[in-house]
Structure 1
Amino acid sequence: MNLPFISDQTFTQKDYTSTRLQKAEYDNCTFVNCNFEQGDISNASFLECEFIDCNMSNANVTHCTFNAVTFNDCKMLGVDVSRCNTMLMDFSCDNCVLDYANFSGLNLKGFVFSNCQMKHSDFTDAILQYVKFQDCILSNAIFEHTDLQHSDFTSAKDFLINPAKNSMKGAKFSKHTLDGLLRHFQLDIKP
């Protein structure tokens, strides 16, 4: 199925909660202050697009393609990223709220999450090699059978990772965040 091609456009303050975003290939488009909350953007394709200050909470992203996409200052509560098209998946998030997002089973090697709140997000069975969690809040995030090799948690906050249940060779942590690794062992750590 060939999708319509939409290129080099800016969409500002559009409400896609009841009216669906056109199913298309979006190339080099910008979405500013748009509301996709509980909307349906399934089967759409975004290449080199930017989402700024958008609400994508609980949006249906099934078979959606995000390639070279940036999300800035977006609210993305409960988004099931694991349902997206994984072919050529590449995106970054800066200053986004990704609470309850589902990344389980995905290959996110080299992705960057910066200044994001990711409480209760699920990374079960995901490949997170070389992922950077710069100044991210990871309270109650789930890391089970996750490949965290060479990932960077040096400035991450409130994570709890069981080293016995995850691959962690070369992962980076600061001495201030080690309690997130050792809490599973019920050690008494003094400052």
Structure 2
Amino acid sequence: MISEKQYHCDAQFTQNDMVDMDFTDHTFENCSFSNCRFSELRMAGTAFISCVFETCEFVVTEIQNVSFNDTLFDACKLLGINFTNCNDFGFSPRFKACLMKTVVFNNKNLKSMPFESCEIVDCDFTESDLRDADFSNSFFKGTRFHQCDLRKADFRTARGYEINPITNKIVQARFTLPEAQSFLLFLGIDLGP
């Protein structure tokens, strides 16, 4: 369980249900969380620095002014999370093999951020900086990219994305066929027989 002290370093938390915990203004540095539940929890002013979340659940977790600096989410479930109000200073989460559903990243600097082997469903990246982002082996469904900077982003092994090349910057972004054919729908082009 989380102790009363505000600063936690090199701690390991395993199979904890964090629902009733108060994380307000706590700092976690080089900590690991494994199989923990953060469902319907409210965090404010919490800082996670060089932390790892492995097979954790974040379901409708409120994260107000929370810092995620060099923090890895590995095989986590993130449902209904809004990263828009997170602390921008040092914001650098990494996502690997996560289920991300109805997650919002509006107006966030996600430059060079990895979203590797993730399932990204009904998420929103409106007006986000995704230059050099890595979406290797990720699957998209119903996810919105609008007014995004996707220059040099890697979608080569991603599937299911729908990106409007008119309302997003895609210069030097990397795509492969047949997935890149989705651009044609936004251009009003039909390649049917």
- Does the TM-score normalized on the shorter chain lie above 0.5? yes
Quote how far apart the aligned CAs of 1:105 are. 0.3
Quote how far apart the aligned CAs of 1:22 are. 6.0
Q: Tell me the residue number matched to 1:83.
A: 85
Instruction: Say which of 45, 48, 70 aligns to 1:46.
Output: 48
Matching residue's letter, 1:159? Y
Q: Tell me the residue number matched to 1:58.
A: 60
Following the alignment from structure 1 to structure 2, what is the Cα–Cα distance between the partners of residues 42 and 135? 33
Quote how far apart the aligned CAs of 1:58 are. 1.1
Q: TM-score, normalised by structure 2?
A: 0.93
Quote how far apart the aligned CAs of 1:7 are. 0.2
Quote how far apart the aligned CAs of 1:19 are. 3.0
The alignment status of 1:136 with 2:138, answered yes or no, reads yes
Give structure 1 stretches of 5+ with no counterpart: none
Following the alignment from structure 2 to structure 1, what is the Cα–Cα distance between the partners of residues 21 and 8? 18
Following the alignment from structure 1 to structure 2, what is the Cα–Cα distance between the partners of residues 138 and 67? 25
Q: Tell me the residue number matched to 2:100.
A: 98
- The Cα offsets for residues 70-118 of structure 1, whole Å up to 9 and x where unpaired, read as 0001000111011110110111111101111000100100000011111
Q: Are 2:106 and 2:128, in contact at CA under 8 Å, matched by a contact in 1?
A: yes
Matching residue's letter, 2:41? G
Quote how far apart the aligned CAs of 1:187 are. 2.4
Following the alignment from structure 1 to structure 2, what is the Cα–Cα distance between the partners of residues 96 and 185? 32
Q: Are 2:184 and 2:190, in contact at CA under 8 Å, matched by a contact in 1?
A: no
Following the alignment from structure 1 to structure 2, what is the Cα–Cα distance between the partners of residues 34 and 23? 19
- The Cα offsets for residues 26-61 of structure 1, whole Å up to 9 and x where unpaired, read as 110000100001112221101100000100121111
Q: Tell me the residue number matched to 1:31.
A: 33
Matching residue's letter, 1:19? M
Q: Tell me the residue number matched to 2:9.
A: 7
RMSD between aligned residues? 1.5
Q: Larger strand proportion, structure 1 or 2?
A: 2
Aligned pairs for 1:137-152 within 5 A: 137-152=139-154
Following the alignment from structure 1 to structure 2, what is the Cα–Cα distance between the partners of residues 124 and 184? 17
Give structure 2 stretches of 5+ with no counterpart: none
Matching residue's letter, 2:59? S
**Count of matched residue positions in the alignment of Structure 1 and Structure 2:** 189
Following the alignment from structure 1 to structure 2, what is the Cα–Cα distance between the partners of residues 22 and 42? 5
SS in structure 2 of the partner of residue 98 of structure 1: strand
